Amino acid sequence: MFQFPRKHRPLLGLDITTSSIKLIELSMSGGQYRVESYAAEPTPQNAVNEKAIVDADAVGEAIGRAAKRAGAHSREVAIAISGDAAITKVIQMPRSLRESELEAQVELQADQYIPFPMDEVAYDFEVLGPSEKDSEAQDVLLVATRSENVEQRRAAVMAAGLTTRIVDVEAFALENACRLMTHQMPDGGIDRAIAVIDFGASSTTFSILKNLKVVYTRDFAFGGQQLTEDIMRTYGLSIEEAGRAKKEGGLPGNYQSEVLDPFIDDMTQQVSRSLQFYLASGSGREQPEKILICGGCANVPGVADVIASRVGIAAEKGDPLGQMKLSSRARAQAVQRDATALLSALGLALRSFD
């Protein structure tokens, strides 16, 4: 069942994807966040399929290695399920209900919004505040998923010798992390539309934020794995050799023109297409004022400039760690190298401070 923390407690933000397992621990002092520990491990082959964990023990071993290498203090983690696997609905409830009455009322009404048998569902809710639709009502966020989506993650965490304290949704984690990039947004993102594109290994999330709240999100199959496979095919390398060459360099002189430039073209087309989908998704949609590019692909040299010039919107590589301190245990080089790919892990780690 989803759990919203009621008091401050240190948590490890744990992001599990098809390509990597990232684990980060934050602290706060004097109103400033600090990275206490960080580590990443490759995801065992075939252990995660389209964001579903199919080998919890193998994933658990990788999580355990990451936790040990990070030297993390906390043994409790916050994890997330994919947005595709979650049902989210804002419902209205009478403001007069006491907490116990509200819980009972949500339970009674939940099956109206969840298209699965309730005994197969994990769900939770959070009061958002007074409803704009009804002065006598309050808005309540209902979040649900199939129990198996939660249990497979809990099993992997348990196999690592850790405890699952929070189960979140990736879209909420991303929204949470975006407040770490307000220094890159016009007016800190207040009353502004900002696009955030998080390029993963095999999938990408395109989000629009208004007042730092996600108002539109779209996931699509595209990511850095495509560039790795292009390198593999073009130069006859194994997938491991291609991945290493992509990060470390040393590829032939025609790499830029033959492989990298076409990949950047594909990235740009994906951004342009996502913007078109967003603008066509409802009335009153406005062009975002800035694009923040995150994920591993954000480190492709010059990609932000190319996207900006072709879509006509200012673009910049996202920098969620820009205003953070790093502890001596945090392996600064690794944290800085992976910074653009840490949105989900950071957003989960920030749940410590709710």
Contact 74, 161 (CB under 8 A): no
Q: State the sign of the Cα–Cα–Cα–Cα dihedral 351, 152, 145, 105.
A: negative
Could you report the per-residue pLDDT of 208-260, keeping only the tens digit for each? 999 999 999 998 999 999 999 999 999 999 988 998 888 888 889 999 999 99
Of the candidates 142, 203, 149, which has an alpha carbon nearest to the alpha carbon of residue 174? 203
- In whole angstroms, what is the distance from residue 266 CA to residue 236 CA? 22
pLDDT in the model for residue 332: 74
Could you report the per-residue pLDDT of 158-170, keeping only the tens digit for each? 999 999 999 999 9
Q: Is the pLDDT of residue 185 over 50?
A: yes
Token match 């099956």: residue?
111
Strand duo 137-146 + 121-130: pairing: antiparallel
Residues 6+ apart with CB under 8 A from 248: none
Q: Is the pLDDT of residue 205 over 50?
A: yes
First to last CA, the chain: 18
Cβ atoms within 10 Å of 30's Cβ, excluding its own = 6
Q: Is the pLDDT of residue 176 over 60?
A: yes
pLDDT-derived band at 2, boundaries 50, 70, 90: low
- In whole angstroms, what is the distance from residue 228 CA to residue 225 CA? 5
Separation in Å, CA 257 to CA 16, 133, 156, 184, 340: 33, 55, 42, 31, 25
Of the candidates 243, 299, 228, 309, which has an alpha carbon nearest to the alpha carbon of residue 271? 309
Domains by residue range for the chain, with CATH: 12-83+148-178+324-353 (3.30.420.40), 87-146 (3.30.1490.300), 182-317 (3.30.420.40)
Contact 170, 82 (CB under 8 A): yes
Percent of the chain with pLDDT strictly greater than 90: 64
Of the candidates 225, 229, 230, 205, which has an alpha carbon nearest to the alpha carbon of residue 216? 205
Could you report the per-residue pLDDT of 84-117, keeping only the tens digit for each? 888 888 889 999 888 888 988 888 888 888 888 8
